[in-house]
Chain A
């Protein structure tokens, strides 16, 4: 048997965690800078999302050891998150409709 993806998180050097820690600091500082320098519009939103995804990825992959888990577990946890994204799309459409109704008929709502 080849133990490629087995439980070997015990043998990670501490340096790995310190590096991820450092990167999380840098990325958090970057997202704070987005607000500090008052960036606006698409640049602001894309940078916020970019730094957020990078931070989330580092935490899940390294700190939570997801990178070394077996594929069956990774997929069982990550695939259902797709349902959340579908929910987001549904509620974006719904919010647009609500806003439209409230704008067109201000007295009703």
Chain B
């Protein structure tokens, strides 16, 4: 028995990198993703499925834009903001991008302080992330209001191809919903961190399980994903 387990450890050490390690992991007993908790693995798999959802939206937008004979409205002009008589192209969108990136920065640092078991700093950074996320949703609401006042509808708009409106509301709406849910869960997790739930092993009201500071990292995965999706929306919808 001792010899067998020793040999297994040697095998594992040899296969800790390269394609052989993938084959070994996937063929192994009980769990494929070594060193990865179920919570983290499931969040990654959820994010992969969410990637497909957003991909379908962006691909249908691409299909609509490529196949229409009517000219596509110029996003650079549609989303321009006038300040003091000068028109800045995509100004609000650029600000929203910087706000969301900043929220990703504070989130990444929150994860780091979480593993250092610095309760207050972690919670404060998470709340800062939530505030930035809420600011992003607020600016998006402003943008929607502006466009609706200008006559953009899912079925028509004053500037060109009708699909512009439906693509815009669908893609940014779905992304904004993700941000909103992210903000809610950030506040929930930040409260747990601040209260010390992960230090004393207090059980969650919904799952009755003890949590740990990895919850902050899993929350972070979701939040960074929302930022990641915005990178693609910014490139394909606003800049293209």
Report which A residues bind B (CB closer than 8 A): 1-2, 4-7, 9-10, 12, 14, 17-18, 20-21, 24-25, 28, 31-32, 34-36, 38, 45, 48-49, 51-52, 55-56, 59-60, 62-65, 69-73, 75-77, 80-81, 84, 87-88, 91-92, 94-96, 98-99, 102-103, 106
The 8 A CB mask of B126-158 against A (1 = contact, 0 = none) is 000000000000000000000000000000000
Q: Inside 8 A of A51's CB, which chain B residues have their CB?
A: 235
Tell whether, in the assembled complex, residue B109 and residue A45 are in contact, meaning their CB atoms are under 8 Å apart: no
Query: 30 interchain pairs (CB within 8 A)?
Result: A1-B9, A4-B16, A9-B112, A10-B112, A12-B112, A18-B105, A28-B94, A32-B94, A35-B238, A36-B89, A38-B76, A55-B231, A56-B232, A63-B108, A64-B220, A69-B36, A70-B21, A70-B25, A70-B33, A71-B25, A72-B25, A72-B32, A73-B36, A81-B48, A81-B51, A84-B52, A95-B66, A98-B67, A99-B67, A106-B69
- Say how far B103's CB is from chain A's closest CB, in angstroms: 10
The 8 A CB mask of B104-119 against A (1 = contact, 0 = none) is 1101110110011000
Q: Inside 8 A of A71's CB, which chain B residues have their CB?
A: 17-19, 21-22, 25
Q: Inside 8 A of B68's CB, which chain A residues have their CB?
A: 99, 102
Q: Which of B55-63, B166-174, B178-186, B197-205 contacts A (4 or more CB under 8 A)?
A: B55-63
Our pick among B69, B104, B217 for the contact of A59 (Cβ within 8 Å) is: B104
**Count of B interface residues, CB-CB < 8 Å:** 62
Q: Chain B binding site: helix, strand, loop or mixed by DSSP?
A: helix
- Say how far B126's CB is from chain A's closest CB, in angstroms: 14
Q: Inside 8 A of B47's CB, which chain A residues have their CB?
A: 77
Tell whether, in the assembled complex, residue B62 and residue A91 are in contact, meaning their CB atoms are under 8 Å apart: yes
- Say how far B139's CB is from chain A's closest CB, in angstroms: 15
Q: Inside 8 A of A2's CB, which chain B residues have their CB?
A: 13, 16
Report which B residues bind A (CB closer than 8 A): 9, 12-13, 16-19, 21-22, 25-26, 32-36, 41, 44-45, 47-48, 51-52, 55, 59, 62-63, 66-69, 76, 89-90, 94, 97-98, 101-102, 104-105, 107-109, 111-112, 115-116, 217, 220-221, 224-225, 227-228, 231-232, 234-235, 238-240
Our pick among A1, A32, A45, A91 for the contact of B63 (Cβ within 8 Å) is: A91
Q: Inside 8 A of B224's CB, which chain A residues have their CB?
A: 59-60, 63-64
- Say how far A104's CB is from chain B's closest CB, in angstroms: 11
**Complexed CA–CA distance, A5 and B220 (Å):** 20
Given contacts A25-B98, A71-B17, 16 further A-B contacts (CB under 8 A): A4-B17, A7-B35, A14-B109, A25-B101, A32-B97, A63-B107, A63-B108, A70-B36, A72-B22, A72-B25, A72-B26, A72-B33, A75-B22, A88-B62, A95-B62, A99-B69
5 closest A-B pairs (Cβ-Cβ)? A10-B115, A95-B66, A21-B105, A72-B25, A98-B67
